Structure 1
């Protein structure tokens, strides 16, 4: 049985592995390191230390050996005790005891055991695949600043031709001012025209949006109305006729509402040309002129006509009932 192999397996998962009657191997996490002298980068790892005082059996190593060797717990414990006895004899007779992937143990003249960990194995699982490497030093060049001397005084000569042309300079200055003023005026006029155009378009869009919202603000249930049964006492013919006329209601199918009366009139002519008995209803609470497709005295006829108009003419049509 190679006991150090099982100890190495457990060191990947546990920070302390106790060998009963011998001692304990403990691990401690270390962060990555950089050696500025050798330019060596070391990955994060676990360092191993040995504690001779921890000799009590905690069951971890024995249970692992029992499962790995397919033997009972007692048999595994006996095997470990035999291996420990062999290690102790080696430490007494020889100079050192080497445990593969763990380290070397040696007894000094004071009968103390010294432990030298093996560095070739990294027991930190999060650093799997990372290895130490050396980096080539980066040589940075230092750029020297060159100072350029500039003459403090630069001699210049005024030619006679320039002196003769000096009289034209005021005219050039005035011409430049006029050009600047003209370009500023043109730019301002274009901006003013663009602003008026944008305001007109925005006003038109707002009116169309308000008209649509007003039309959609009234909802009407398109399902047939179920009217309750009404018992009417017999009265004279004249009284019944008056009551019928009083209770009768007119149903209008509204085609739209317009802010300008002329637009409403054009809509009426358009609907009449399409065969509708269109008419002008009047203004609503918002001051908009309302145009109707037709009017009905029977509610069922009005609902049927509204469904047909919504299907073939306008989905925005709605029903207005007036008593």
Structure 2
């Protein structure tokens, strides 16, 4: 059962999702903000937190699981309890529990659960489609303010000037308008001629290009056969750990040894202690992973254990 999937679904609709006998995931709305230094704009969101004190079953999570999985309510409660028991056992062993789209859980030195929320998802449905973006700094012009200050100091007064009537100016203006209209008409006619010429030249060039393309023949002798590669990418959040190595070359050697024995071994990165972790295999189903773990413990390695972690 993917418990984090059900919790994530409910966080979109509710501000508090209680996991019985474990704790509650809480959300509160955070307004949109602007970072003054980077000029970045952040949309409103729901900030996520965890309260270990709220453990009383309110029925929300169990009812939702019972509805989705089509099981009785009491069966859903038992499934949650079994999942919580497993998570607590991993935390006691010092492992980090990575809940997809929610965050990471780990025990501190005082035995309390520390929660680091995920920043890859926004549970505020009102902000759907909004994302962070940055803008350049805006420099405002102050020319208008300077002009207004000058007008306050030096007021401007416009006095109309009396002129004598000059009839010949009227005829000169009429002649100027006629010349302007004639020049505009000639310019428009010339531009039209140029456009027609360009269009004819373009059509002729296109015809020549089509003729060249039709004359060309492409022959490929002995074409290479198509190659099809099938690559299986390991998936799943349940990993059967074979060991952790300080030297990466030793982890590579271990992976090759396990693959020679038929396991789908691989490296899953470096843990918080700086060790390169090697796993026998990864699984999407927890029951399948536990079954494989029991087989490996019985036939190959009694020290193998199960790690619950989302791997990108």
Which band: TM-score by shorter chain?
0.3 to 0.5
Question: How does the TM-score come out when normalised to structure 2?
Answer: 0.45
Higher Cα Rg, which structure: 1
